[in-house]
Amino acid sequence: MSVHPVSVATTASLEVLGRDVRVPLVTGGEVTYAALDYAASAPALQRVWDDVAAYAPYYGSVHRGAGYLSQLSTDLFEQSRATVADFLGCREDDQVVFTRSTTDSLNLLASVLPAGTQVFVFETEHHASLLPWRDARVTYLSAPRTPEQAVASLEAALAQRDPSPSSRTDSSRGYPNAPALVCVTGASNVTGELWPVRELAEAAHAHGARIVLDAAQLAPHHPVDIAELDVDWVAFSGHKLYAPFGSGVLAGRADWLQEAEPYLAGGGASRKVARRADGGVDVEWHSTAARHEAGSPNVIGVYSIASACRALTEAGFDSLVEREQGLVARVRAGLAEVPQVKVLSLFGDAAPRVGVISFVVDGWNSSHFAAALSAEYGIGVRDGLFCAHPLVRTLLGNEPTEPGECGSPESEPGEKSLNAIRVSFGAGTPDEHVDRFLGAVRELVQDGARWNYRTEDGRCVPARD
């Protein structure tokens, strides 16, 4: 059965939804909204939306029905799994498990770790990859200041890792040491800087450890190839890959996934369930990706991820990267012209990066500045600590910024706050949005806000009275 008749996307267009949305300004009038918060949630591609709309009338249960629509939806679901595997360059024996998000994917991986596993994670990680390892032995590594230092720091930590209580052997590589896992981002959600993933994978494997790549910020901007990077798993979210609807992916080695109890127990994960004579229940779990996909699958969310993967592949990452790097250079050059602006960086100005840039402005609380960008210029950015609190605090030197008229979401009312501003962009970002942003930064720094602001429910908002 083919699902091609319900697909209407025939081009590699990377136009996004919302590009013509108008928003009101507190100073009067309205303007086209400049969405510059891609690192939080990228706008959906128009192509993805059209694909999903074309499929919607054919919507049916997955793996659970004999009817035509159910079988078509099942085929669509499994074809989407194959599309994602191709997009990630998965190896023949890798599994693609659909989840709710990157956070869900990494919590799933944390739940299947063998007993005694030691996890190594840099303090620079997003909370999605910093926090799931509560039941493991965790070694937190300090923020490196160069890619080379990151590799050296990991090698030193792995060389000194604790012996395993279970003396488990990683049979695929023949190492008799403790099970170990390294978790690392591909691109920082704070600075946009690219991490030396291939070199970190080499270091991990040289010491008998496995490695999982948090590709939430990398996959929308650069090709991610599991085999080429030699990572064991990759996790990412659809809503950062221009696909809405709350789906994510964990892709990679199958053995730990097959050997562990299901992430969720329920229908779909179970292959056979039978009552025992003593009144209990015997369960035989699936050994495929379905083992960790209990419940009715989110077929629309999964299809939207596959549609985005196809669109990015057909458009070609070379052209996408080239244009984005032009925007990165323009933003960085524009911010450099404003002496009061300090751009945050771990690895320095020359480090390669994606379209994610964080900064602070002398004399401004970052939440106040972000609120003025929105209310007075129709520009959406992010302020705060970006769910990467240790990293932002390290970059800011743990010194509070100016209190301004409003506090950050993470600060108590009346307290000085520690927070930054993040601008992020990608496919579908018009040049005009970047130019308006840079103009707004210059005007706010030179002339100040034209409106009064106050803290309301933890957010900085325009005062209405």
Establish whether 309 is a catalytic residue. Answer: no
Q: How many C-beta atoms lie closer than 10 Å to residue 448's C-beta?
A: 11
Beta strands in 269-324 (DSSP E): 270-275, 281-285
Residue partners of 339: CB distance under 8 A and separation at least 6: none
* Contact by Cβ (8 Å): 385, 333: no
What is the b/e burial string over 65-96, where b = at least 16 CB atoms within 10 angstroms of the residue's CB?
eeeeebbbbbebbebbbebbbebbbbeeebbb
CA-to-CA separations, 397 to 239, 367, 389, 392, 394, in angstroms, rounded: 31, 18, 12, 8, 5
Pairing label, strands 118-122, 137-141: parallel
Contact (Cβ atoms closer than 8 angstroms) between residue 390 and residue 124: yes
**Contact status, residue 252 vs residue 233, Cβ threshold 8 Å:** yes
Say which residues have a Cβ less than 8 Å from residue 196's Cβ, sequence separation at least 6: 147, 148, 150, 151
The angle that helices 68-88 and 299-315 make with each other, rounded to 10 degrees, is 40
Which is the catalytic residue, given 90, 387, 406, 460? Answer: 387
The answer to whether the CB of 417 falls within 8 A of the CB of 401 is yes
Q: Are 445 and 338 in contact (CB under 8 A)?
A: yes
Catalytic positions, written as ranges: 387
